[in-house]
Structure formats: C-alpha cells, structure tokens
C-alpha cells in the first residue's frame, strides 16, 4: 500500500486555499487541482510499504506539543504550484523526529529535504503572477499516517492512524 505521513489542515485553512484555487481557475489557469479534501502538509512520503501497523507503531513514540502554522507565500516546483508556510521551528522539529523514528524502524521514506507546502495544482498551465496567498493560521494538534489509492477521479486519501500532541 502507498503511505505517507501528513498534517491534516483545519477547515479554515482548507477554505482559504480553496479560495486561492477558485481565483486561479477564474484567471484561466488549467491543470489538475488538488481536491479540497486532499489538501495536507506532507511530513514524510513512504511510498509502497506492506505493513501500515508497523509504520504506525514506529510513529507512536513521536512526542510534540501543539503549535501554530500560518500560510505564507506561493511557489512552484516546475508545473506544480503550491502555497507555503511561515517558518516554523516546531514543524521542522516534528518532521525531523518522525523521519528519525521511521529510519530507526527501518521504514524507507523519501530523503528529500523537508519543504513544507500544500500542493494546489499539478501540471499547471497559466500565469501565476497575480496569486496572493491570504492570511490564515491553524493549530497543529496531530499528524496522521495516510494511505493513498489511485481512483478514476484522482487520489483517495484515507487516514490509517492519528497521533496527537501532548497537552502542555
């Protein structure tokens, strides 16, 4: 099964990003827009791995306190357009901790440098120069182990396990 670890977005954050996507569509941008229900922040991409329970067990020891994330900026990885986040030492620390837990357990994952973002459009065609990312923030209280499956209408993401922050 295809697995990744992510932070689910709050409804307010999803609404803000959906408004950006709507703006892009009105500006004539074409491409594969990420469905609002699939918007998330990937912390680690695992890929094909047969044992989600083992991965969940490896992640269960990752401790963190709740923290705030805020939208900031727009960028591109080639024809993939994304919304960014304000610098967050807490987010970087969480990503580092959970990637270390995966490595210690022998669970392979993408070793690319952590670059927090939310993918808005894949295979984007158009002019991104007028894009403005609105102010929006959310409290991070958990992260999830997710399964992704290919379907006729795009990817379906299913949460397999949720890991909550420790109360302060």
Alpha-carbon distance of 124 to 71, in angstroms, equals 21
Catalytic residue, from 117, 122, 141, 147: name it.
117
Which of the following is catalytic: 4, 5, 40, 55? 40
Sheet containing strand 117-125, edge to edge, reads 30-33, 117-125, 80-85, 67-77, 137-140
**CA quadruple 135, 141, 144, 149: dihedral positive or negative?**
negative
Q: What is the pLDDT of residues 25-75, one digit of tens each?
A: 999 999 999 999 999 999 999 999 999 999 999 999 999 999 999 999 999
Q: Which residue(s) pair with 144 in the sheet?
A: 6, 162
40 is catalytic: yes
Report pTM: 0.90
Q: How far is CA 144 from CA 12, 72, 158, in A?
A: 19, 23, 10
Active site residue 117: yes
């Amino acid at each position: 099964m295809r697995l990744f670890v992510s932070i689910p977005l709050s409804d307010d954050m999803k609404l803000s990003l959906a408004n950006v996507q709507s703006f892009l569509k009105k500006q004539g941008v074409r491409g594969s827009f990420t469905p609002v229900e699939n918007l998330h922040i990937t912390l680690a991409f695992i890929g094909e791995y047969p044992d989600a329970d083992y991965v969940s067990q490896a992640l269960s020891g990752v401790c963190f306190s709740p923290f705030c994330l805020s939208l900031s900026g727009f960028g591109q990885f080639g024809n993939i357009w994304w919304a960014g986040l304000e610098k967050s030492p807490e987010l970087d620390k969480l990503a580092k901790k959970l990637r270390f837990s995966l490595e210690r357990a022998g669970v392979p994952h993408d070793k690319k440098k952590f670059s927090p973002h939310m993918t808005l459009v894949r295979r984007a065609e158009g002019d991104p120069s007028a894009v403005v990312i609105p102010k929006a923030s959310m409290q991070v209280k958990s992260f999830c182990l997710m399964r992704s499956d290919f379907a006729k209408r795009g990817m379906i993401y299913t949460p397999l396990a949720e890991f909550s922050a420790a109360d302060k």
